[in-house]
Amino acid sequence: MSLLRQPILLLARSERVKQLVSILPVSSGIVTSYVPGETTQSAVDATAGLADAGLHATLDFLGEDTLDAEQADATVAAYTDLLSSLAARGLTRGAEVSVKLSAIGQALPDNGHKIALENARTICRAARNAGTSVTLDMEDHTTTDSTLAILRELRKDFPETGAVLQAYLHRTEADCRALAYEGSRVRLCKGAYNEPESVAWQDKLDVDLSYVRCLKVLMAGHGYPMIATHDPRMVEIASSLASRYGRVQGSYEFQMLYGIRPEEQRRLAAAGESVRVYVPYGHEWYGYLMRRLAERPQNLTFFARSLISKS
């Protein structure tokens, strides 16, 4: 991994740095490169723009590690409002939502797992009524078992609910095998949290090798793989594996983050591939931004320049 990755991820937990960064308006330089805005309207407008370009979307109302039940309820309300707004614009055919369980109660000290499950059910119901679906984002490794347990419960009533697995965790290849069944939607990403060596690969090559092993499992399985990567090599490998396992376009999709490699997103879509863009929005963009910087440390200079000019 880049030598800058872990220091940047540590900054994502720093309240002091967060307070300084938060003086930046969302329209500032590096922020707006990754986050289209803070409001439901800005998220819906971004989704419409992607749809015009032949791209699908998955929308994330930013927030995590919520320790306040009222804030968890507010996040649920934000998602239901978003889904209603997407439906009103006729956008739900190509747009779903991504939900972090820690933002809707998973981290609450009393009955967090149960609260997150019930809140997730509310969002899944709203999504189905709007004509779309939900994908459960994966967070740090301490939440993996709880998240997968909630996924199993949700899929009893909402089998369309998507899962996310992170290739840098040692356990993920086995999790892929368990989830590669018919009707199962699985987003495979590399992972963006600062995880210990005991549970996660630390070297970039090891993470890449794990990603390919996991991708083989999903492509050979009976589910719907969602290939979350910006790495040109992984895009090429995914295309090759699709051909090897007889997958037609539309039986899998590529996923990329809002603002990253937009030309490649459009190129793949023009070639007939299904491409979905991860669109984050809301006031709680700091942690998300820092993880994106950790993935692409070359952006740190631009970010620091923006911060200094506002301080």
Active site residues: 137, 187
DSSP designation for 128: H
User: 170 near 163, Cβ under 8 Å?
Assistant: no
User: 53 near 44, Cβ under 8 Å?
Assistant: no
Give me the sheet containing 56-61, strands edge to edge.
134-137, 95-100, 56-61, 275-281, 253-257, 224-228, 185-189, 163-166
User: CA 131 to CA 298: how far, in whole Å?
Assistant: 39
User: 141 near 97, Cβ under 8 Å?
Assistant: no
Q: Longest Cα pair distance anywhere in the chain, in angstroms?
A: 55
Tokens of 72: 């968890």
Give strand pairing partners of 162.
135
Taking alpha carbons only, the member of 122, 255, 115, 233 closest to residue 185 is 255
Give strand pairing partners of 279.
59
Tokens of 125: 């119901």
**Distance of alpha carbon 311 from the chain centroid:** 31
User: CA 102 to CA 195: how far, in whole Å?
Assistant: 17
